[in-house]
Amino acid sequence: MRNIDRLRVMSLEEITPYLVHRTVIDESDVWYSPNGYIFSNKDAAIENCIHWLDGEYHKENKMYGNDYLLKNGITDIEELVDKSVYLIFPVQGIVRYEIRRVQYGKQQEWFLCVPETYKVSELGKSIFFTKEEAEKYQLQQLNEYTREQRERIIKQKVEERNKELEELDRLLEKYPTPESRFPINNPCCICTHIDEVNAPVYLCAICVKQNMFNCDMNKVKKLFGEIKDDKF
């Protein structure tokens, strides 16, 4: 029996350990599954490999429905490897990456590794082959964000105004006549009497006039602050 014949009769569990390989990334051991996924332990890589081997072959895939790829002359998924792409980030802005590999995921879609994983379907939508396309998309996103912010501020102002009107309606209902809306002065600190005259004082006119405590009213006034009112 030839080796190839032996491979053909092997079960998935028997052949999988030969397909999973170990490598070192950042001084840590990792295991690669043939579909491109990376795992921190061998058993997980083997399980993923078995699932991949038992799945349907997807060389003819959804990428052919991507007009952006066809427009850029990409007719095979493997042609994306080592190709430069531009991504947009909130802080870093537009960043250029090279596609390290492509892999077919459990979601029945192709993914780019750059090194983070992105759907191939995002090419032409949020990932681009040229910086000019990325800048154009970034400007569109900025305009959309500005419009949303403007609408949010307008909505907030309208809500605040409506609350003010509701409060005004409540006050008008509580104080329907002009007489009911007279200001209420602060009570006297001694007798709690409320002056009819709206004056910024702590002692009412009655207490000041009677001086029932036989106090030096100038000292009292000085104690509570200077009062520029000849009525005292």
8 A C-beta contact, residue 187 and residue 194: yes
The reported pLDDT for the residue numbered 215 is 60
The span from the CA of 171 to the CA of 66, in Å, is 63
pLDDT of residue 206: 66
| pLDDT tens, residue by residue, 48-62 | 888 878 877 655 444
Residue 223 Cα to chain centre, angstroms? 56
How much is the pLDDT for 129? 92
**Residue count of the chain:** 232
Report the SS3 class of residue 6. Answer: helix
pTM of the model: 0.43
Helices (H), ranges, the chain: 3-9, 12-19, 42-53, 67-71, 131-174, 205-210, 217-224
User: Residue 201: what pLDDT?
Assistant: 47
Residues of the chain with pLDDT under 50: 60-64, 197-201, 227, 229-232
* pLDDT computed for residue 65 by the predictor: 56
The single-letter code of the amino acid at 158 is: V
- Domain residue ranges in the chain: 1-55, 57-129, 135-182, 183-232
Burial class (CB in 10 A: 0-12, 13-18, 19+), 159: exposed
What is the reported pLDDT for 195? Answer: 56
CA-to-CA distance for 196 and 14, rounded, in angstroms?
A: 101
**pLDDT given at position 29:** 80
Phi-psi map region of 114: left, alpha, beta (phi>0 left; psi -120 to 50 alpha): alpha
